[in-house]
Amino acid sequence: MFNEKDIYLNLQNRLVSAGFEHGAKLRAEVLGHEYNCSASTIREALFRLSTLGLVKFQEQRGFRVPERSPEKVMELTHMRVLLEGEGTVLSIHKGGVAWEARLTAAHHQLSHIEKRIHTIDDPTDLFPIWFNAEREFHQTLISACGSETLKELHARVYAQFRQQLMAADRQFNFISDNIQHHAEILAAAVSGDEGLTRQKIHDHLARHLTGNTLQI
């Protein structure tokens, strides 16, 4: 049986990893039966998730998963470029060797998974592992920035960004570029080159600034 925290976290994970289709109606009664809890417990969790932008709520219409939107992806991408660029530069100044070690470890894990994906025909089973490793790498980039506000805002933006791309990115057509991009971001950050680090973060996300990444 799930407790309230587990229900919230499980729903959050499903919302950003293709557990529900874009635009799907989220029925508290149905989900309550699935989680063996009351509908009111589900509604409370969905209300909380709506404050993160992962659920849409409308009076008389209930809860729904947000629709896919190229405009939304571009907006979220711009925010990621700004937040990750600034957060990483601050981490370069404040993080020291301990941050560099954490970042290198996070990249090693991500690189291993991405190289595995690159060599197999059907990487479907690796998607949850890749998602967690990719998120950890980008969160580690900004982890030593010294601003809880920046990290909290980045977490919200990243979750909405990943939700928008949860169907498109499952094809992994981008994985070859990702392997190179993540390595270049790591090298730039560890070298302490602020301008190059910002540029590599921008280059990594640039494909999402055209509005074409939702076409699958």
Contact 27, 33 (CB under 8 A): no
Domain pair 4-64 / 70-209, same fold: no
Tally Cβ neighbours within 10 Å of residue 30. 12
> How much of the chain exceeds pLDDT 90, in percent?
79
Render pLDDT for 36-90 as a digit per residue (tens, 0 to 9): 999 999 999 999 999 999 999 988 789 999 999 999 999 999 999 999 999 999 9
Please state which of the four CATH numbers 3.40.50.880, 1.20.120.530, 3.30.360.10, 2.40.30.10 is assigned to the domain occupying 70-209.
Answer: 1.20.120.530
Beta-sheet pairing, 56-58 with 62-64: antiparallel
Residue 173 has pLDDT above 80, yes or no: no
The better pLDDT of the pair 176, 78 is held by 78
How does residue 1 score in pLDDT terms, banded at 50, 70 and 90? low
Question: What pLDDT score was predicted for residue 11?
Answer: 97
pLDDT band at 211 (very low <50, low <70, confident <90, very high): low
DSSP H/E element including 26: strand 25-26
Q: Where are the domains of the chain?
A: 4-64, 70-209
Give the CA-trace dihedral at 84, 151, 24, 44, to 10 degrees: -170
Local confidence band at 2 (pLDDT 50, 70, 90 cut-offs): confident
Given CA atoms 129, 130, 135, 136 in this order, what sign does their dihedral have? positive
Query: Rounded to two decimals, what is the model's pTM?
Result: 0.90
Q: Does domain 4-64 have CATH number 3.40.50.2300?
A: no
Which single residue is written with the structure tokens 């950050």? 189
CA dihedral sign of residues 153, 212, 216, 22: positive
For the record, the structure tokens of 128 come out as: 């949850």
3-state class (DSSP) for residue 63? strand
